[in-house]
Amino acid sequence: MPCRSALSTNSSGCDPQQARGRWMAAALFMLMVGPLSWARGGPLPQADAVWYASAEALGLQLDNGAGGNAPVVIDSFTDAPLLSAGDVNYPMAVGPKFTLGRTIGERYAVEMVYFGLQQWNTSRTVNGDNDLAIPGALGLASFDFFNVDRLTASSQATLNNVEANLWRRIGGGPLCLMAGFRYFDLDERFVIRGADSDTGASRYRIGTQNDLFGGQLGGRYRRCFGPGSLFGFEAVGKAGVFGNAAGTSQSVTDFDNTFSLRDVHQSAGQAAFVGDIGVNGLLRVTDSLQVRIGYTMIWVEGIARAANQLDFSDNAKSGRFVHFGEGAFLQGINVGLEYGF
């Protein structure tokens, strides 16, 4: 007589300990294998749809790029540094990130990516009483930057990124590889404003522009888990070598902005690098809609940062260079929605 329950007695012709053991083994097997059987989904977003799109808010923290932490405000009597370029730090700035893709069969997808419009702004002010100056001969040659009452250092930056990528799924697994084109633009401005009750207010302004163009390679691992693919995980990495068409400008005014001490513009080309890593968690809302929450890191080398162009000399060659000594590191979080149609 067959066992009907793990609680059957010996009178049924079945060993209750043996039956109970079989039930426990079956339950343990389901706990171990069940989640693996729930895992599905390939590396292409919304693989069952022809088109997919995502819209996210991307918050990024940008380092100040101040190599050597050079002083920008000193005590005009003791030369003691009171404020350095490294003290002018950017807060986090939020901008949009958009992705639009189209699958081609089960193995390929063409994808366009844009993120940017971040506006970083920060400033630091030192107040004194006719005892503040900027360093070097430039301060000594000016009225509004030597023995003044107030000096303010401020920095602004903007970012734009555009990509066109082709993704190819590897076999039938959760990995795909990418080759594509990328444009990356980082523009910056560093300004020192001097103000004195006797002579007026003037500024030392530096601007940098970095236009990076080039190819990139990358990979993506994406897997969905749970009943109905409720949860998902995605890791993306991209890197490329780029050409940077960089430009800088420097202007120094004096005597309440009525006299120009410097007005120069420079341009230069440089090989550059851009790499980024993103990790995202996915939560399915409907068959076509998912929530995305993740973390992004971007590393850039071979660019001109505004704070690194500071030149406190006062001669015919002052400001006539493009310095590529420091890169940029950005990191932050992204939150948004992904939709397939």
Task: State the pLDDT at residue 106.
Answer: 84
pLDDT in tens, 167-178: 999 988 899 999
Task: State the pLDDT at residue 33.
Answer: 34
> Other CB atoms closer than 10 Å to residue 206's CB: what's the count?
24
The β-bridge partners of 289 are 339
pLDDT in tens, 119-128: 999 999 999 9
Per-block mean pLDDT, blocks of 10 residues, the chain (341 long): 37 48 46 36 68 97 82 96 94 97 92 95 96 96 96 97 96 93 97 94 97 98 88 96 97 95 96 98 93 98 95 96 92 97 92
Task: State the pLDDT at residue 35.
Answer: 34
Q: Which residue, chain included where needed, has tokens 């989904």? A: 41
Integer CA distances (angstroms), 299 to 210, 321, 325, 328, in order = 14, 24, 14, 6
Task: State the pLDDT at residue 185.
Answer: 98
Task: State the pLDDT at residue 21.
Answer: 53
Task: State the pLDDT at residue 1.
Answer: 36
The β-bridge partners of 110 are 102, 166
Exposure string over 188-199, b if 16+ CB within 10 A, otherwise e? bbbbbbbbbeeb
For strands 108-133 and 259-284, give the pairing.
unpaired
